[in-house]
Amino acid sequence: MARIKTTQDISRKEVITEAAATLFKEKGYKAASMRDLAEQVGVEAASLYNHIKSKSELLHNICVQVANDFWEHIHEVENKKCTGVEKVEAILRYHIREMITNYEKVYVSDREWKHLTEPYLSNFHTQRREYRKKVASIIEQGIHKGEIKPIDAPTAVLIILHAVSGIDSWHRSKQKISAAELEANMVTILIDGLRK
Amino acid sequence: MARIKTTQDISRKEVITEAAATLFKEKGYKAASMRDLAEQVGVEAASLYNHIKSKSELLHNICVQVANDFWEHIHEVENKKCTGVEKVEAILRYHIREMITNYEKVYVSDREWKHLTEPYLSNFHTQRREYRKKVASIIEQGIHKGEIKPIDAPTAVLIILHAVSGIDSWHRSKQKISAAELEANMVTILIDGLRK
DNA sequence: CTCAAAAACTAACATTTGTAAGTATGTAGC
DNA sequence: GCTACATACTTACAAATGTTAGTTTTTGAG
Protein backbone atom coordinates (compact mmCIF):
# COMPACT_ATOMS: atom_id res chain seq x y z
CA MET A 1 0.00 0.00 0.00
CA ALA A 2 1.39 3.32 -1.04
CA ARG A 3 1.80 5.93 1.59
CA ILE A 4 2.26 9.65 1.37
CA LYS A 5 5.82 10.41 2.32
CA THR A 6 6.29 12.77 5.22
CA THR A 7 9.05 14.07 7.39
CA GLN A 8 8.71 15.19 10.97
CA ASP A 9 8.30 18.80 9.97
CA ILE A 10 5.78 18.35 7.23
CA SER A 11 2.37 16.75 7.61
CA ARG A 12 0.61 14.71 4.95
CA LYS A 13 -1.84 17.53 4.54
CA GLU A 14 1.01 19.86 3.74
CA VAL A 15 2.45 17.43 1.23
CA ILE A 16 -0.90 17.34 -0.51
CA THR A 17 -1.20 21.11 -0.44
CA GLU A 18 2.24 21.54 -1.98
CA ALA A 19 1.43 19.07 -4.72
CA ALA A 20 -1.89 20.83 -5.27
CA ALA A 21 -0.13 24.15 -5.69
CA THR A 22 2.13 22.70 -8.35
CA LEU A 23 -0.77 21.04 -10.12
CA PHE A 24 -3.05 24.07 -9.95
CA LYS A 25 -0.25 26.18 -11.36
CA GLU A 26 0.36 23.82 -14.26
CA LYS A 27 -3.17 22.99 -15.32
CA GLY A 28 -5.30 25.60 -13.59
CA TYR A 29 -7.58 24.90 -10.66
CA LYS A 30 -10.56 23.72 -12.66
CA ALA A 31 -8.60 21.52 -15.02
CA ALA A 32 -6.68 19.84 -12.22
CA SER A 33 -8.59 16.82 -11.00
CA MET A 34 -8.39 15.13 -7.65
CA ARG A 35 -7.27 12.00 -9.48
CA ASP A 36 -4.38 13.95 -10.98
CA LEU A 37 -3.47 15.19 -7.56
CA ALA A 38 -3.74 11.72 -6.05
CA GLU A 39 -1.42 10.33 -8.68
CA GLN A 40 1.05 13.09 -7.93
CA VAL A 41 1.28 12.11 -4.29
CA GLY A 42 1.14 8.40 -5.16
CA VAL A 43 -2.21 7.42 -3.74
CA GLU A 44 -5.82 6.84 -4.76
CA ALA A 45 -8.09 9.87 -5.08
CA ALA A 46 -10.43 8.92 -2.28
CA SER A 47 -7.51 8.55 0.11
CA LEU A 48 -6.84 12.26 -0.05
CA TYR A 49 -10.02 12.81 1.90
CA ASN A 50 -8.47 11.32 4.99
CA HIS A 51 -6.39 14.48 5.14
CA ILE A 52 -8.35 17.25 3.49
CA LYS A 53 -11.94 18.35 3.49
CA SER A 54 -12.35 19.23 -0.16
CA LYS A 55 -10.62 20.42 -3.29
CA SER A 56 -11.70 23.96 -2.65
CA GLU A 57 -10.17 23.81 0.82
CA LEU A 58 -6.81 23.26 -0.84
CA LEU A 59 -7.15 26.38 -2.93
CA HIS A 60 -8.40 28.28 0.05
CA ASN A 61 -5.42 27.28 2.20
CA ILE A 62 -2.98 28.26 -0.51
CA CYS A 63 -4.58 31.65 -1.04
CA VAL A 64 -4.90 32.46 2.64
CA GLN A 65 -1.32 31.57 3.38
CA VAL A 66 0.01 33.74 0.58
CA ALA A 67 -2.33 36.61 1.37
CA ASN A 68 -1.31 36.58 5.03
CA ASP A 69 2.39 36.68 4.20
CA PHE A 70 1.94 39.76 2.03
CA TRP A 71 -0.46 41.34 4.46
CA GLU A 72 1.99 40.96 7.32
CA HIS A 73 4.85 42.30 5.27
CA ILE A 74 3.12 45.45 4.13
CA HIS A 75 2.32 46.33 7.71
CA GLU A 76 5.97 46.10 8.57
CA VAL A 77 6.79 48.35 5.65
CA GLU A 78 4.15 50.90 6.58
CA ASN A 79 5.72 51.31 10.00
CA LYS A 80 9.25 51.70 8.71
CA LYS A 81 10.97 55.04 8.99
CA CYS A 82 12.16 55.62 5.46
CA THR A 83 11.25 57.42 2.25
CA GLY A 84 8.29 56.51 0.08
CA VAL A 85 10.52 55.28 -2.71
CA GLU A 86 12.34 53.03 -0.29
CA LYS A 87 9.05 51.63 0.90
CA VAL A 88 7.91 50.90 -2.61
CA GLU A 89 11.24 49.28 -3.33
CA ALA A 90 10.91 47.10 -0.23
CA ILE A 91 7.47 45.99 -1.35
CA LEU A 92 8.66 45.28 -4.85
CA ARG A 93 11.64 43.27 -3.61
CA TYR A 94 9.42 41.26 -1.32
CA HIS A 95 7.08 40.44 -4.19
CA ILE A 96 9.96 39.37 -6.36
CA ARG A 97 11.46 37.14 -3.70
CA GLU A 98 8.15 35.56 -2.84
CA MET A 99 7.54 34.91 -6.51
CA ILE A 100 10.92 33.22 -6.73
CA THR A 101 11.04 31.17 -3.54
CA ASN A 102 7.36 30.49 -3.11
CA TYR A 103 6.58 30.29 -6.78
CA GLU A 104 3.73 27.80 -7.09
CA LYS A 105 1.63 29.08 -4.24
CA VAL A 106 2.06 32.73 -5.09
CA TYR A 107 1.25 32.02 -8.70
CA VAL A 108 -1.86 30.06 -7.83
CA SER A 109 -3.03 32.63 -5.34
CA ASP A 110 -2.60 35.29 -8.02
CA ARG A 111 -4.30 33.54 -10.93
CA GLU A 112 -6.76 31.09 -9.46
CA TRP A 113 -8.36 32.96 -6.57
CA LYS A 114 -11.43 33.56 -8.70
CA HIS A 115 -12.37 29.95 -8.03
CA LEU A 116 -12.57 30.42 -4.30
CA THR A 117 -16.01 29.82 -2.86
CA GLU A 118 -17.96 32.26 -0.74
CA PRO A 119 -17.41 33.72 1.74
CA TYR A 120 -13.68 33.27 1.17
CA LEU A 121 -13.92 34.74 -2.29
CA SER A 122 -15.30 38.04 -1.01
CA ASN A 123 -12.82 38.15 1.83
CA PHE A 124 -9.91 37.56 -0.47
CA HIS A 125 -11.15 40.10 -2.94
CA THR A 126 -11.54 42.72 -0.26
CA GLN A 127 -8.13 42.08 1.25
CA ARG A 128 -6.55 42.28 -2.18
CA ARG A 129 -8.17 45.63 -2.84
CA GLU A 130 -7.08 46.91 0.55
CA TYR A 131 -3.55 45.76 -0.10
CA ARG A 132 -3.42 47.68 -3.35
CA LYS A 133 -4.85 50.73 -1.68
CA LYS A 134 -2.09 50.60 0.87
CA VAL A 135 0.56 50.48 -1.83
CA ALA A 136 -1.15 53.28 -3.74
CA SER A 137 -1.24 55.38 -0.62
CA ILE A 138 2.48 54.91 -0.05
CA ILE A 139 3.13 56.01 -3.61
CA GLU A 140 0.90 59.02 -3.20
CA GLN A 141 2.79 60.10 -0.13
CA GLY A 142 5.97 59.82 -2.16
CA ILE A 143 4.46 62.02 -4.82
CA HIS A 144 3.49 64.67 -2.29
CA LYS A 145 6.99 64.71 -0.90
CA GLY A 146 8.38 65.12 -4.38
CA GLU A 147 10.31 61.85 -4.38
CA ILE A 148 8.10 60.26 -6.98
CA LYS A 149 6.91 61.57 -10.33
CA PRO A 150 3.37 62.99 -10.41
CA ILE A 151 1.70 59.90 -11.82
CA ASP A 152 -1.55 58.11 -11.17
CA ALA A 153 -0.80 55.97 -8.13
CA PRO A 154 -3.25 53.13 -8.85
CA THR A 155 -1.73 52.78 -12.30
CA ALA A 156 1.73 52.54 -10.81
CA VAL A 157 0.53 49.84 -8.42
CA LEU A 158 -0.99 47.91 -11.24
CA ILE A 159 2.24 48.04 -13.23
CA ILE A 160 4.45 46.98 -10.36
CA LEU A 161 2.32 44.13 -9.11
CA HIS A 162 1.62 42.70 -12.52
CA ALA A 163 5.19 43.05 -13.68
CA VAL A 164 6.19 40.75 -10.88
CA SER A 165 3.86 38.04 -12.09
CA GLY A 166 5.98 37.93 -15.22
CA ILE A 167 8.62 36.12 -13.20
CA ASP A 168 6.63 33.14 -14.34
CA SER A 169 8.46 33.47 -17.67
CA TRP A 170 11.78 33.68 -15.89
CA HIS A 171 11.11 30.37 -14.15
CA ARG A 172 10.36 28.69 -17.44
CA SER A 173 13.31 30.26 -19.23
CA LYS A 174 16.15 27.92 -20.16
CA GLN A 175 19.13 30.22 -19.92
CA LYS A 176 18.13 32.36 -17.02
CA ILE A 177 20.00 35.06 -15.24
CA SER A 178 20.37 34.60 -11.50
CA ALA A 179 17.61 35.47 -9.10
CA ALA A 180 19.70 38.33 -7.74
CA GLU A 181 20.24 39.76 -11.23
CA LEU A 182 16.59 39.42 -12.01
CA GLU A 183 15.70 41.33 -8.89
CA ALA A 184 18.26 44.01 -9.61
CA ASN A 185 16.99 44.47 -13.15
CA MET A 186 13.38 44.70 -12.12
CA VAL A 187 14.12 47.19 -9.39
CA THR A 188 16.22 49.29 -11.76
CA ILE A 189 13.52 49.53 -14.38
CA LEU A 190 10.52 49.95 -12.16
CA ILE A 191 11.88 52.13 -9.36
CA ASP A 192 13.76 54.40 -11.77
CA GLY A 193 10.52 54.69 -13.70
CA LEU A 194 8.86 56.06 -10.61
CA ARG A 195 11.61 58.29 -9.26
CA LYS A 196 11.47 61.95 -10.07
CA MET B 1 -37.95 29.72 -31.15
CA ALA B 2 -35.09 31.88 -29.99
CA ARG B 3 -32.61 32.99 -32.58
CA ILE B 4 -29.12 34.35 -32.27
CA LYS B 5 -29.25 38.01 -33.18
CA THR B 6 -27.06 39.06 -36.05
CA THR B 7 -26.45 42.08 -38.22
CA GLN B 8 -25.26 42.01 -41.79
CA ASP B 9 -21.66 42.50 -40.76
CA ILE B 10 -21.51 39.95 -38.01
CA SER B 11 -22.21 36.27 -38.44
CA ARG B 12 -23.78 34.05 -35.81
CA LYS B 13 -20.45 32.35 -35.37
CA GLU B 14 -18.89 35.68 -34.53
CA VAL B 15 -21.63 36.45 -32.05
CA ILE B 16 -20.91 33.15 -30.34
CA THR B 17 -17.18 33.80 -30.36
CA GLU B 18 -17.61 37.22 -28.79
CA ALA B 19 -19.83 35.79 -26.08
CA ALA B 20 -17.33 32.99 -25.55
CA ALA B 21 -14.53 35.50 -25.07
CA THR B 22 -16.52 37.31 -22.41
CA LEU B 23 -17.44 34.08 -20.69
CA PHE B 24 -13.93 32.63 -20.83
CA LYS B 25 -12.59 35.83 -19.37
CA GLU B 26 -15.05 35.81 -16.50
CA LYS B 27 -14.99 32.17 -15.50
CA GLY B 28 -11.92 30.78 -17.21
CA TYR B 29 -12.02 28.42 -20.17
CA LYS B 30 -12.44 25.22 -18.20
CA ALA B 31 -15.07 26.55 -15.85
CA ALA B 32 -17.15 28.04 -18.66
CA SER B 33 -19.61 25.47 -19.93
CA MET B 34 -21.27 25.29 -23.30
CA ARG B 35 -24.59 25.55 -21.49
CA ASP B 36 -23.42 28.83 -19.93
CA LEU B 37 -22.42 30.06 -23.34
CA ALA B 38 -25.70 28.97 -24.89
CA GLU B 39 -27.65 30.84 -22.25
CA GLN B 40 -25.57 33.92 -22.93
CA VAL B 41 -26.55 33.95 -26.60
CA GLY B 42 -30.12 32.91 -25.78
CA VAL B 43 -30.24 29.43 -27.23
CA GLU B 44 -29.91 25.75 -26.25
CA ALA B 45 -26.42 24.30 -25.90
CA ALA B 46 -26.72 21.81 -28.73
CA SER B 47 -27.80 24.58 -31.10
CA LEU B 48 -24.39 26.15 -30.90
CA TYR B 49 -23.02 23.23 -32.87
CA ASN B 50 -24.82 24.40 -35.98
CA HIS B 51 -22.27 27.21 -36.07
CA ILE B 52 -19.13 25.96 -34.41
CA LYS B 53 -17.20 22.74 -34.44
CA SER B 54 -16.27 22.52 -30.78
CA LYS B 55 -15.56 24.45 -27.61
CA SER B 56 -11.86 24.28 -28.23
CA GLU B 57 -12.34 25.77 -31.68
CA LEU B 58 -13.71 28.87 -29.98
CA LEU B 59 -10.62 29.28 -27.84
CA HIS B 60 -8.45 28.58 -30.83
CA ASN B 61 -10.12 31.24 -32.94
CA ILE B 62 -9.80 33.81 -30.21
CA CYS B 63 -6.12 33.10 -29.65
CA VAL B 64 -5.22 33.02 -33.33
CA GLN B 65 -6.97 36.27 -34.03
CA VAL B 66 -5.20 38.06 -31.21
CA ALA B 67 -1.84 36.51 -31.99
CA ASN B 68 -2.08 37.54 -35.63
CA ASP B 69 -2.90 41.12 -34.76
CA PHE B 70 0.17 41.43 -32.56
CA TRP B 71 2.31 39.53 -35.01
CA GLU B 72 1.38 41.84 -37.83
CA HIS B 73 1.96 44.91 -35.73
CA ILE B 74 5.43 43.99 -34.59
CA HIS B 75 6.52 43.48 -38.16
CA GLU B 76 5.41 46.98 -38.98
CA VAL B 77 7.36 48.29 -36.03
CA GLU B 78 10.47 46.36 -36.96
CA ASN B 79 10.53 48.03 -40.36
CA LYS B 80 10.04 51.51 -39.01
CA LYS B 81 12.86 53.99 -39.25
CA CYS B 82 13.10 55.23 -35.71
CA THR B 83 15.03 54.77 -32.50
CA GLY B 84 14.84 51.66 -30.37
CA VAL B 85 13.10 53.48 -27.56
CA GLU B 86 10.49 54.72 -29.99
CA LYS B 87 9.94 51.20 -31.23
CA VAL B 88 9.48 49.87 -27.72
CA GLU B 89 7.10 52.71 -27.00
CA ALA B 90 5.11 51.90 -30.13
CA ILE B 91 4.83 48.27 -29.07
CA LEU B 92 3.83 49.22 -25.55
CA ARG B 93 1.16 51.62 -26.78
CA TYR B 94 -0.24 49.00 -29.13
CA HIS B 95 -0.48 46.51 -26.30
CA ILE B 96 -2.23 49.02 -24.09
CA ARG B 97 -4.74 49.95 -26.76
CA GLU B 98 -5.47 46.37 -27.68
CA MET B 99 -5.96 45.57 -24.03
CA ILE B 100 -8.42 48.43 -23.79
CA THR B 101 -10.42 48.09 -26.99
CA ASN B 102 -10.19 44.36 -27.49
CA TYR B 103 -10.22 43.51 -23.83
CA GLU B 104 -11.95 40.14 -23.58
CA LYS B 105 -10.16 38.44 -26.43
CA VAL B 106 -6.72 39.74 -25.52
CA TYR B 107 -7.25 38.74 -21.92
CA VAL B 108 -8.40 35.25 -22.86
CA SER B 109 -5.58 34.78 -25.32
CA ASP B 110 -3.14 35.82 -22.62
CA ARG B 111 -4.45 33.72 -19.74
CA GLU B 112 -6.20 30.74 -21.26
CA TRP B 113 -3.98 29.69 -24.15
CA LYS B 114 -2.66 26.82 -22.03
CA HIS B 115 -5.93 25.03 -22.75
CA LEU B 116 -5.40 25.00 -26.50
CA THR B 117 -5.12 21.53 -27.99
CA GLU B 118 -2.25 20.28 -30.08
CA PRO B 119 -0.95 21.20 -32.55
CA TYR B 120 -2.31 24.67 -31.93
CA LEU B 121 -0.85 24.77 -28.45
CA SER B 122 2.69 24.26 -29.71
CA ASN B 123 2.22 26.72 -32.52
CA PHE B 124 0.91 29.37 -30.21
CA HIS B 125 3.66 28.76 -27.72
CA THR B 126 6.33 29.06 -30.36
CA GLN B 127 4.89 32.21 -31.84
CA ARG B 128 4.65 33.74 -28.39
CA ARG B 129 8.29 33.00 -27.71
CA GLU B 130 9.30 34.41 -31.07
CA TYR B 131 7.32 37.53 -30.41
CA ARG B 132 9.12 38.10 -27.14
CA LYS B 133 12.45 37.48 -28.77
CA LYS B 134 11.68 40.16 -31.30
CA VAL B 135 10.87 42.66 -28.58
CA ALA B 136 13.98 41.67 -26.65
CA SER B 137 16.08 42.13 -29.75
CA ILE B 138 14.72 45.63 -30.29
CA ILE B 139 15.59 46.48 -26.71
CA GLU B 140 19.07 45.06 -27.10
CA GLN B 141 19.68 47.22 -30.15
CA GLY B 142 18.61 50.19 -28.10
CA ILE B 143 21.10 49.25 -25.42
CA HIS B 144 23.91 48.98 -27.93
CA LYS B 145 23.12 52.39 -29.31
CA GLY B 146 23.15 53.80 -25.79
CA GLU B 147 19.49 54.88 -25.82
CA ILE B 148 18.49 52.30 -23.26
CA LYS B 149 20.00 51.42 -19.90
CA PRO B 150 22.23 48.36 -19.83
CA ILE B 151 19.65 45.96 -18.45
CA ASP B 152 18.73 42.38 -19.18
CA ALA B 153 16.48 42.61 -22.23
CA PRO B 154 14.32 39.53 -21.56
CA THR B 155 13.58 40.89 -18.11
CA ALA B 156 12.53 44.20 -19.58
CA VAL B 157 10.22 42.40 -22.00
CA LEU B 158 8.70 40.42 -19.21
CA ILE B 159 8.02 43.56 -17.20
CA ILE B 160 6.48 45.47 -20.05
CA LEU B 161 4.24 42.74 -21.35
CA HIS B 162 2.99 41.67 -17.98
CA ALA B 163 2.48 45.20 -16.76
CA VAL B 164 0.01 45.64 -19.59
CA SER B 165 -2.06 42.70 -18.45
CA GLY B 166 -2.71 44.70 -15.29
CA ILE B 167 -5.11 46.83 -17.33
CA ASP B 168 -7.52 44.18 -16.25
CA SER B 169 -7.68 45.97 -12.89
CA TRP B 170 -8.27 49.25 -14.63
CA HIS B 171 -11.31 47.83 -16.40
CA ARG B 172 -12.77 46.64 -13.15
CA SER B 173 -11.99 49.87 -11.31
CA LYS B 174 -14.95 52.05 -10.39
CA GLN B 175 -13.43 55.49 -10.56
CA LYS B 176 -11.09 55.06 -13.44
CA ILE B 177 -8.92 57.57 -15.17
CA SER B 178 -9.44 57.90 -18.91
CA ALA B 179 -7.89 55.45 -21.34
CA ALA B 180 -5.62 58.19 -22.62
CA GLU B 181 -4.40 59.03 -19.15
CA LEU B 182 -3.84 55.38 -18.38
CA GLU B 183 -1.74 55.01 -21.50
CA ALA B 184 0.23 58.16 -20.71
CA ASN B 185 0.96 57.00 -17.18
CA MET B 186 2.07 53.57 -18.24
CA VAL B 187 4.32 54.93 -20.93
CA THR B 188 5.83 57.43 -18.52
CA ILE B 189 6.70 54.86 -15.91
CA LEU B 190 7.86 52.07 -18.17
CA ILE B 191 9.66 53.96 -20.92
CA ASP B 192 11.36 56.30 -18.47
CA GLY B 193 12.43 53.22 -16.57
CA LEU B 194 14.21 51.98 -19.66
CA ARG B 195 15.69 55.19 -20.97
CA LYS B 196 19.27 55.96 -20.12
C1' DC C 1 2.18 -9.24 20.53
C1' DT C 2 -2.05 -6.50 20.89
C1' DC C 3 -5.00 -3.17 19.65
C1' DA C 4 -6.64 1.27 18.55
C1' DA C 5 -5.87 4.93 15.46
C1' DA C 6 -4.30 6.45 11.08
C1' DA C 7 -4.24 5.91 6.40
C1' DA C 8 -4.88 3.42 2.57
C1' DC C 9 -8.13 0.79 -0.62
C1' DT C 10 -12.43 -0.47 -3.58
C1' DA C 11 -16.81 0.59 -5.14
C1' DA C 12 -20.19 3.52 -6.00
C1' DC C 13 -22.87 7.87 -6.39
C1' DA C 14 -24.91 12.01 -8.41
C1' DT C 15 -23.58 15.81 -11.34
C1' DT C 16 -21.76 18.08 -14.91
C1' DT C 17 -19.52 18.04 -19.07
C1' DG C 18 -19.02 18.27 -24.40
C1' DT C 19 -21.26 16.68 -28.13
C1' DA C 20 -24.08 13.58 -31.58
C1' DA C 21 -28.57 12.18 -33.76
C1' DG C 22 -32.77 13.06 -35.12
C1' DT C 23 -36.64 16.21 -35.47
C1' DA C 24 -39.16 20.45 -35.65
C1' DT C 25 -39.49 25.21 -37.03
C1' DG C 26 -38.47 29.42 -39.15
C1' DT C 27 -37.15 31.97 -43.51
C1' DA C 28 -36.15 33.32 -48.35
C1' DG C 29 -36.61 32.58 -53.22
C1' DC C 30 -39.62 30.81 -56.64
C1' DG D 1 -48.03 28.36 -51.12
C1' DC D 2 -44.05 25.29 -51.90
C1' DT D 3 -39.50 23.95 -51.42
C1' DA D 4 -34.98 23.96 -49.59
C1' DC D 5 -31.95 25.40 -46.35
C1' DA D 6 -30.56 27.36 -42.08
C1' DT D 7 -31.34 27.23 -37.48
C1' DA D 8 -33.31 25.79 -33.51
C1' DC D 9 -35.02 22.06 -30.24
C1' DT D 10 -35.29 17.55 -27.64
C1' DT D 11 -33.17 13.66 -26.17
C1' DA D 12 -29.47 11.03 -25.18
C1' DC D 13 -24.87 9.35 -24.04
C1' DA D 14 -20.32 8.39 -22.56
C1' DA D 15 -16.69 10.32 -20.00
C1' DA D 16 -14.97 12.82 -16.20
C1' DT D 17 -15.59 14.95 -11.83
C1' DG D 18 -15.74 15.58 -6.57
C1' DT D 19 -16.94 13.03 -2.93
C1' DT D 20 -19.02 9.35 0.41
C1' DA D 21 -19.34 4.75 2.58
C1' DG D 22 -17.53 0.86 3.98
C1' DT D 23 -13.52 -2.14 4.31
C1' DT D 24 -8.78 -3.49 4.71
C1' DT D 25 -4.07 -2.59 5.79
C1' DT D 26 -0.30 -0.33 8.21
C1' DT D 27 1.73 1.80 12.11
C1' DG D 28 3.21 2.84 16.68
C1' DA D 29 2.45 2.80 21.72
C1' DG D 30 1.77 -0.13 25.68
CA separation for the pair A136, A160 (Å, rounded): 11
CA separation for the pair B63, B183 (Å, rounded): 24
Q: Cα dihedral angle (A140, A141, A145, A146), rounded to 10 degrees?
A: -20
Q: Is a pLDDT exceeding 90 seen at residue A97?
A: yes
Contact (CB<8Å) A177/B111 = no
Residues in chain A closer than 8 A to B163 (CB atoms): 158-159, 162-163, 166
Contact (CB<8Å) B162/A158 = no
Give a yes or no: residue B137 inside a domain. yes
Beta carbons of B32 and B23 less than 8 angstroms apart:
yes
Output the pLDDT for position B192: 81
Domain match, A26 and A123 both: no
Output the pLDDT for position A2: 81
CA nearest to nucleotide D25 C1': residue? A1
Give a yes or no: residue B7 inside a domain. no
CA nearest A191 in B: which residue? B193
Domain match, A127 and A34 both: no
Give backbone dihedrals phi and psi of B154, rounded to 5 degrees, phi first: -55, -35
From the list A114, A159, A173, the residue facing B166 with the nearest CB is A159
Domain match, A104 and A141 both: yes
Contact (CB<8Å) A167/B158 = yes
CA separation for the pair B45, B42 (Å, rounded): 9
Give a yes or no: residue B37 inside a domain. yes
% of chain A residues with pLDDT over 70:
99
CA separation for the pair A78, A84 (Å, rounded): 10
Alpha carbon of A194: minimum distance to chain B alpha carbons (Å): 6
Query: SS3 for A148?
Result: strand
**Mean pLDDT of each 10-residue bin along chain B, 196 residues long:** 77 94 98 97 96 97 97 95 93 97 97 96 97 96 93 95 95 90 94 82
Output the pLDDT for position B193: 82
Size of interface A-B (CB pairs under 8 A): 116
Give a yes or no: residue B69 inside a domain. yes
Residues in chain B closer than 8 A to A151 (CB atoms): 185, 188-189
Domain match, B79 and B136 both: yes
Output the CA–CA distances (angstroms, integers) from residue A70 to A95, A100, B52, B88, B184, in the order listed: 8, 14, 44, 32, 29
Give me the amino acid identity at B119.
P
Alpha carbon of B85: minimum distance to chain A alpha carbons (Å): 14
For residue B86, what is the domain's CATH number?
1.10.357.10
Q: Is a pLDDT exceeding 90 seen at residue A29?
A: yes
CA nearest A114 in B: which residue? B27
> What does the pLDDT average to over A68-76?
97
Question: What is the spatial distance, in angstroms and rounded to an integer, between the CA atom of A104 and the C1' atom of D28?
Answer: 34
Domain match, B114 and B22 both: no
Question: What is the spatial distance, in angstroms and rounded to an integer, between the CA atom of A68 and the C1' atom of D22?
Answer: 39
Protein-proximal nucleotides of chain C (any atom < 7 Å from a CB): 6-12, 16-22, 25-27
CA separation for the pair B42, B6 (Å, rounded): 12
pLDDT mean across residues, chain A: 94
Give a yes or no: residue B177 inside a domain. yes
For residue A114, give every residue at least 6 positions away whose Cβ sits within 8 Å of its Cβ, in sequence order, or none.
Answer: A121, B27, B28
For residue A30, what is the domain's CATH number?
1.10.10.60
Domain match, B27 and B90 both: no
> What does the pLDDT average to over A96-109?
97
Beta carbons of A50 and B136 less than 8 angstroms apart:
no
Domain match, A35 and A80 both: no
Query: SS3 for A44?
Result: coil
> What does the pLDDT average to over A38-46?
96
pLDDT tier for residue A163 given thresholds of 50, 70 and 90: very high
Domain match, A62 and A139 both: yes
Domain match, B61 and B45 both: no
Beta partners for B195? B148
3-state SS track over chain B: CCCCCCCCCCCHHHHHHHHHHHHHHHHCCCCCCHHHHHHHHCCCHHHHHHCCCCHHHHHHHHHHHHHHHHHHHHHHHHHCCCCHHHHHHHHHHHHHHHHHHCHHHHHHHHHHHHHCCCCHHHHHHHHHHHHHHHHHHHHHHHHHCCCECCCCHHHHHHHHHHHHHCHHHHHHCCCCCCHHHHHHHHHHHHHHHHEC
Q: Is a pLDDT exceeding 80 seen at residue A58?
A: yes
Domain count, chain A: 2
Contact (CB<8Å) A111/B111 = yes
CA nearest A185 in B: which residue? B151
Give a yes or no: residue A3 inside a domain. no
Residues in chain A closer than 8 A to B191 (CB atoms): 193
Which among B158, B65, B50 is positioned nearest to B120, based on CA atoms? B65
Domain match, B28 and B106 both: no
Domain match, B148 and B97 both: yes
pLDDT tier for residue A169 given thresholds of 50, 70 and 90: very high
Output the pLDDT for position A123: 97
Which among A161, A196, A167, A135 is positioned nearest to B166, based on CA atoms? A161
Give a yes or no: residue A2 inside a domain. no
Q: Is a pLDDT exceeding 80 seen at residue A158?
A: yes
Domain match, B66 and B151 both: yes
Range of the domain at A30: 12-50
- Greatest alpha-carbon span in chain A: 66
Beta carbons of B31 and A56 less than 8 angstroms apart:
no
Give a yes or no: residue B129 inside a domain. yes
